[in-house]
Amino acid sequence: MSSVFTKIIRGEIPCYKIYEDERTFAFLDISPEAVGHTLVVPKNEVAKVYELQDEDYRAVMETVRKLMQHYETVLGKRMTMKVVGVDVPHAHVHILPFDEYFEKGLRGGITEETKPKISQDEMRELQEKLRLN
């Protein structure tokens, strides 16, 4: 059975796509921990980042680097990344702006109450602002 991320890549589930190339796909997280929270996934469905083939691992990390540099310029905020790998069985990397809101959430724990509330219109505006290709 395909993961939710594979369904997003195939266009079966809508998303706010930010970037796509031959090996990777990036989109805004619909339950963001910070404004601009983006997921970078390999198109090849593998459960864990450390199980990726070398080429796919390098491609994911290159996309992460490219997007973080772009976001830092566009948003004017330092960027951070994390790999958790337990919520969806499809390798992925989270990239997030490291701002006061996110830092506060990290210290107190990220909860539904501390996550930003972003409307669909705001998500579309953010998508346009952050889109790389």
Q: What is the pLDDT of residues 59-68, one digit of tens each?
A: 999 999 999 9
Which among 30, 28, 34 has a CA at the least distance from the CA of 106?
34
Q: Which helix (H) or strand (E) holds 26?
A: strand 24-28
Contact 34, 104 (CB under 8 A): no
DSSP annotation string for 85-98:
-SSSSS--EEEEE-
Q: Is 94 a catalytic residue?
A: no
Q: Which of these is catalytic: 37, 70, 90, 92?
A: 92
CB atoms within 10 A of CB 120: 9
Q: What is the pLDDT of residues 70-85, one digit of tens each?
A: 999 999 999 999 998 7
Q: What is the pLDDT of residues 86-108, one digit of tens each?
A: 889 999 999 999 876 566 656 56
The pTM (predicted TM-score) of the whole model is 0.90
